[in-house]
């Protein structure tokens, strides 16, 4: 047992911290405040910046342009990206992770050759389309259908809350090809390109947080895709999506941690400078104890994330539960720490000019996206009941 980072992890942490603080952090407030029409160009520029430091290829093989580093190292880099700009983490992650990882795991060689080099270089943007207006937590109740006609498939349905929908060149869409077979065997995943007939996207949603990462609906109206758009095997789409979300939950935990660490550091710096009653805020126990709690909570969140990453890497049978624990704790922690940070800043924390206001809004997504807190608790509870049933 050893908590030290390896030499590679140390240098990744240092390089990403320097790069992201220089290239992303100064743009984070501007991105949050940008008009919806300006957002696509700004976020694409950030995604390209992340491509230039190798971030988009960390999960992917060298032959497509990646570096294929382990999941803990990816989490170390991801924390730095999120600490600097959470919206950039979300959009980059939806492309190289939620879209790129299932392509890596289940795609044919031709599909990987077609999309992965562009995803890794930032020239192509991907998205992941599972959620529907009436199916979020209960993903098995999606209504989108896929009907085979000759060598093609015709898709019909609406996907909602899709990160990158308005930017994406290609969206991974889950649809029922055989409702009677149920989610385990009747859902198929399709790589739907934006030029496909019958494919369109809505206007982006006007969101509480993560305003620099566009979210919109993907509309499939008699949308025709070739047989070659099927990811892996027909009928495996739901299982592929659930496996992808195990990685995604470590990602959501990581973005929450980045937000929390940023909030803690800003609170620490502010409380050193701001004086009341002739003393800096951090000399008051009620403020310094908030900083202490922030430190402990971020440390625990990081440990849970690294444990979940280790478990996934080691193919540990409890890996999915470790991912749920990390996601649940880190996201709830981020909301609490961002709230404490606003408190430390007092009235200034409530003003948009100060970044803790943005962090407070951004943090909430972690408790909702990729399996809300309630769903994680259900999964964790089921696992503990089963474990101690014997």
Ligand X SMILES: Cc1cc2nc3c(=O)[nH]c(=O)nc-3n(C[C@H](O)[C@H](O)[C@H](O)COP(=O)(O)OP(=O)(O)OC[C@H]3O[C@@H](n4cnc5c(N)ncnc54)[C@H](O)[C@@H]3O)c2cc1C
Paired tokens of 135? 């199916």
- Which residues are registered as beta bridge partners of 170? 126, 193
Q: Supply angle C-alpha 259, 47, 100, rounded to 5.
A: 95
Among 153, 176, 210, 247, binds ligand X (CB under 6 A): 210
Q: What is the longest distance spanned by two Cα atoms in the chain?
A: 79
Q: Strand 215-226 vs strand 152-163: parallel, antiparallel, or unpaired? A: antiparallel
Among 54, 97, 102, 136, binds ligand X (CB under 6 A): 136
Pick the closer one to ligand X by CB: 23 or 357.
Answer: 357
Q: Supply angle C-alpha 127, 133, 135, rounded to 5.
A: 85
Binding of ligand X by 141 (CB under 6 A): no
Binding of ligand X by 130 (CB under 6 A): yes
User: How would you class 293 by CB atoms within 10 Å of its CB: exposed for 0-12, middle for 13-18, buried for 19 or more?
Assistant: middle
E runs forming strands in the chain:
126-129, 145-149, 152-163, 170-176, 187-193, 199-201, 215-226, 275-276, 279-280
Pick the closer one to ligand X by CB: 152 or 374.
Answer: 374
Pick the closer one to ligand X by CB: 43 or 281.
Answer: 43
Binding of ligand X by 251 (CB under 6 A): no
Count of CA atoms in the C-beta half-sphere (13 A) of 54: 17
Residue 227's φ and ψ, nearest 5 degrees, are: -55, -35
Binding of ligand X by 374 (CB under 6 A): yes
Pick the closer one to ligand X by CB: 169 or 370.
Answer: 370
Q: How far is the CB of 240 from ligand X (least distance, A)?
A: 13
* H or E element at residue 87: helix 86-93
Range in contact with ligand X (rule: CB under 6 A) among 36-44, 130-138, 249-257, 271-279: 130-138
User: Is-catalytic flag, 370?
Assistant: yes
Of 80, 132, 217, 370, catalytic: 370
Pick the closer one to ligand X by CB: 213 or 267.
Answer: 213
- How many residues contact ligand X, by CB under 6 A? 21
Binding of ligand X by 128 (CB under 6 A): yes
Distance CA 171, CA 180 (A): 25
Range in contact with ligand X (rule: CB under 6 A) among 9-17, 161-169, 277-285, 341-349: 161-169
Distance CA 201, CA 59 (A): 28
Among 137, 141, 200, 276, binds ligand X (CB under 6 A): 137
Binding of ligand X by 375 (CB under 6 A): yes
Range in contact with ligand X (rule: CB under 6 A) among 60-68, 129-137, 266-274, 334-342: 129-137
Helix (H, G, I), strand (E, B) or coil at 105: helix
Pick the closer one to ligand X by CB: 133 or 182.
Answer: 133
Binding of ligand X by 131 (CB under 6 A): yes
Paired tokens of 236? 């495996």
Site residues (CB under 6 A) for ligand X, limited to 328-367: 365
Which residues, in sequence order, are CB contacts of 388 under 8 Å at separation 6+?
none
How many residues does this entry show for the chain?
Answer: 390
Binding of ligand X by 380 (CB under 6 A): no
Which residues, in sequence order, are CB contacts of 200 under 8 Å at separation 6+?
218, 219, 221
Binding of ligand X by 324 (CB under 6 A): no
Binding of ligand X by 162 (CB under 6 A): yes
Binding of ligand X by 287 (CB under 6 A): no
Distance CA 234, CA 374 (A): 31
Q: How far is the CB of 31 from ligand X (least distance, A)?
A: 15
Binding of ligand X by 79 (CB under 6 A): no
Site residues (CB under 6 A) for ligand X, limited to 83-102: 94
Give the residues lining the site for ligand X (CB under 6 A): 94, 128-131, 136-137, 161-163, 207, 210, 215, 365, 368-372, 374-375
The residues carrying an active-site annotation are: 370
């Amino acid at each position: 047992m050893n908590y030290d980072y390896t030499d590679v992890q140390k240098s990744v942490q240092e390089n990403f911290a320097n790069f992201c603080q220089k290239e992303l952090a100064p743009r984070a407030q501007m991105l949050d405040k940008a008009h919806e029409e300006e957002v696509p160009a700004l976020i694409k520029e950030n995604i390209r910046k992340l491509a230039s430091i190798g971030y988009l290829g960390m999960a992917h093989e060298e032959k497509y342009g990646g570096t294929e580093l382990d999941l803990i190292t990816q989490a170390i880099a991801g924390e730095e990206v999120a600490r600097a700009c959470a919206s950039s983490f979300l959009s980059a992650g939806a492309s190289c992770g939620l879209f790129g990882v299932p392509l890596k795991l289940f795609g044919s060689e031709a599909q990987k050759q077609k999309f992965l080099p562009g995803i890794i270089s930032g020239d192509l943007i991907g998205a992941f389309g599972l959620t529907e207006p009436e199916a979020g937590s209960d993903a098995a109740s999606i209504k989108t259908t896929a009907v085979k006609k000759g060598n093609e498939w015709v898709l019909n349905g609406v996907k909602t809350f899709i990160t990158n929908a308005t930017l994406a060149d290609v969206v991974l869409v889950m649809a029922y090809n055989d409702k009677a077979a149920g989610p385990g065997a009747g859902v198929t995943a399709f790589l739907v390109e934006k030029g496909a007939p019958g494919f369109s996207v809505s206007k982006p949603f006007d969101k509480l947080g993560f305003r620099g990462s566009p979210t919109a609906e993907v509309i499939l109206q008699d949308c025709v895709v070739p047989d070659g758009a099927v990811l892996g095997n027909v009928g495996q789409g739901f299982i592929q999506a659930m496996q992808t979300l195990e990685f995604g939950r470590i990602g959501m935990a990581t973005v929450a941690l980045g937000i929390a660490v940023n909030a803690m550091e800003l609170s620490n710096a502010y409380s050193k400078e701001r004086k009341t009653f002739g003393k800096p805020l951090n000399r008051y126990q009620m403020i310094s104890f908030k900083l202490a709690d922030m430190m402990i909570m971020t440390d625990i969140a990081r440990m849970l994330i690294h444990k979940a990453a280790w478990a996934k890497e080691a193919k540990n049978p409890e890996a999915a539960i470790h991912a749920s624990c990390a996601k649940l704790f880190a996201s709830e922690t981020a909301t609490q720490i961002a709230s404490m940070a606003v408190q430390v800043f007092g009235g200034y924390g409530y003003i948009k000019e100060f970044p803790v206001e943005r962090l407070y809004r951004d943090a909430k997504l972690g408790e909702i996206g990729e399996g809300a807190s309630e769903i994680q608790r259900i999964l964790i509870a089921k696992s503990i009941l089963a474990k101690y049933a014997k």
